Amino acid sequence: MMRPLLERLEARGSAGRPVTVALAGAGRFGTSIAAQIAQMDGLRLAAVADPNAENGAEALRAAGWADEQLRRCESAVAAQAAVESGEAALAPDAEALASAPIEVFVDATGIPDVAARNAWAALHAGRHVVMVTVEADMSCGWALAREARRQGVVYTLAAGDQPIAIMELFDWAVALGLDPVAVGRGTRLYPHDRHGDADKALARLGYDAETADRLRLNAQMYNSFRDGTKSQIEMCAVSNMTGLPPDRRGMHEPSAGLNELPNLFAPRDAGGLLHGTGVVDLANAVAPDGASEMPEHIATGVWAVVTCDDDRVLEDLRIHGTRVSRDGRRTLLFREYHLCGVETPLSIAQAALLGATSGAPRETPTSEVLAFAKRDLRPGDTLDGSGGRLVYGLIDRAEAVSADGVLPLGLTYGAAVREPVAADQPIPLDAVSVVQDSFVARLREEAGA
């Protein structure tokens, strides 16, 4: 797919008709996307929406715009005029970009309800949508993807982040007729991380105050990395794209280096962890002692354990250098890195020029992320969502929401606690009041979730 994509990008660049892109959310991820767009023929970041005007301006500068080319736009009329006149529109929110001539809308706000609203509006405006906010995708991505198909446009997750990096391994393997045993990403989860607060997350990840400010890091988002919720969310997105469920609630997440993966992610009768094959899971870089790290871990990478019925194919995979299980029945595909923001423009280009997704949810969700209490919850508490002080998330099959009556993580933002919930227990649906005007809740209800 890369050659035809490159040819189309070059053609749009040569013709002076670059694909016009709007970005909502100019934090670290969004600004990385902007900077990468500036390196490419055939794409142009024409507008940025962010309530922090300086963040938005910085993203536009990263995309190659000079300060005198930036126009502050408080209305849709002003933003449309700016883009049509060859200037860059800088808006406080995505609504102000409603009528600007934009082909692809990218949401990197990190706020599920805002992202869902932004995506829905963009789809109805005939724009392709690249969803960076995986928290929105795991909450209602299937409804957004369904609406994109109705509107004749593309809804896709973003290349460069782990879910699509995993999908690239999965699609490659399935296209060749290989059978996925398990697919996943690496993590770095220490014993006490699950209950961590956002105010300490950046320091625990090694960022000093000056670096965190310069990189414009979102402490709550980074806390979701540290407390393990983000990896649960991302694997839910992968599950809903591939149809592969978790083997158990929260997945196994064993401490593992590369050589152990094809042995651990195997059926139990073959000495592995799995009750069933064809699942999503995680590989923890932290050793069982809870302090050191595993040799040859894959903390920032992605992986897939695959198999095949044909012994000749398995032999070829081994001969050509893949890591193979001790019984010779499974082989490991992996990539030791993922390039957040850097690769995302490929999803933008694929949507606009090929009408193709990098990966999108299926019609109905395979999995959900369930909300668990980080500490004892009391009536009057207000839940603060992924990475906050009160909630963490664990993946499970989608039917667990109704069967067990558990609150989906995507509905925890601003929800009011009505009944006590003990620490580390799933939060019952009837123990909280969800925000009344939640757009995520509306889409879930209309989609029958």
CATH number at residue 90: 3.40.50.720
Give me the pLDDT at residue 225, please.
87
428: three-class secondary structure by DSSP: strand
Write down which residue in 327, 354, 381 finishes a domain.
354
**302 and 424 within one domain:** no
222 inside domain: no
With the CA atoms of 106, 109, 114 and 115 taken in that order, what torsion angle do they form, in degrees rounded to the nearest 10? Answer: 40
**371 and 331 within one domain:** no
28 inside domain: yes
List, in order, residues 6 or more apart from 434 with CB less than 8 Å away: 411, 415, 441
Other beta carbons within 10 Å of 308: 18
**419 and 293 within one domain:** no
**304 and 292 within one domain:** yes
Rounded CA gap, 216 and 230, in Å? 19
Q: CATH number of the domain that 412 lies in? A: 3.90.1210
Give me the pLDDT at residue 150, please.
97
β-sheet bridge partners, residue 382: 416
Q: For residue 386, which of 158, 230, 281 has the smallest C-alpha distance?
A: 230
Structure tokens at 394: 């664990």
Number of folded domains that form the chain: 3
Write b or e for each residue in 129-157: b if 16 or more Cβ atoms lie within 10 A of its Cβ, otherwise e: bbbbbbbbbbbbbbbbbbbbeebebbbbb
**241 and 116 within one domain:** no
Is the CA virtual torsion 254, 255, 259, 263 positive or negative?
negative
Give me the pLDDT at residue 215, please.
76
51 inside domain: yes
**245 and 314 within one domain:** yes
195 inside domain: no
State the first-to-last Cα distance of the chain, in angstroms, to the nearest integer: 34
Give me the pLDDT at residue 449, please.
66
Other beta carbons within 10 Å of 272: 22
Average pLDDT, consecutive stretches of 10 residues, N- to C-terminus, the chain (449 residues): 92 97 97 97 97 97 98 97 98 97 98 97 98 98 97 98 98 98 97 87 81 81 90 98 98 98 98 97 98 97 98 96 96 97 98 98 97 98 95 97 96 97 98 94 86
Give me the pLDDT at residue 217, please.
81
**170 and 152 within one domain:** no
Asked if 20 contacts 80 with a C-beta cutoff of 8 angstroms, the reply is no
48: three-class secondary structure by DSSP: strand
**391 and 374 within one domain:** yes
**270 and 127 within one domain:** no
Name the residue range of residue 108's domain: 2-160+341-354
**65 and 85 within one domain:** yes
Rounded CA gap, 15 and 28, in Å? 31
**149 and 12 within one domain:** yes
212 inside domain: no
203 inside domain: no
268 inside domain: yes
Any idea how long the chain is? 449
Question: Which stretch of DSSP H or E encloses residue 264?
Answer: helix 261-264
Q: Pick left, alpha or beta for residue 359 (phi over 0 → left; psi -120 to 50 → alpha; otherwise beta).
A: left
**103 and 34 within one domain:** yes
Structure tokens at 21: 């892109």
pTM of the model: 0.96
Write down which residue in 354, 388, 406 finishes a domain.
354
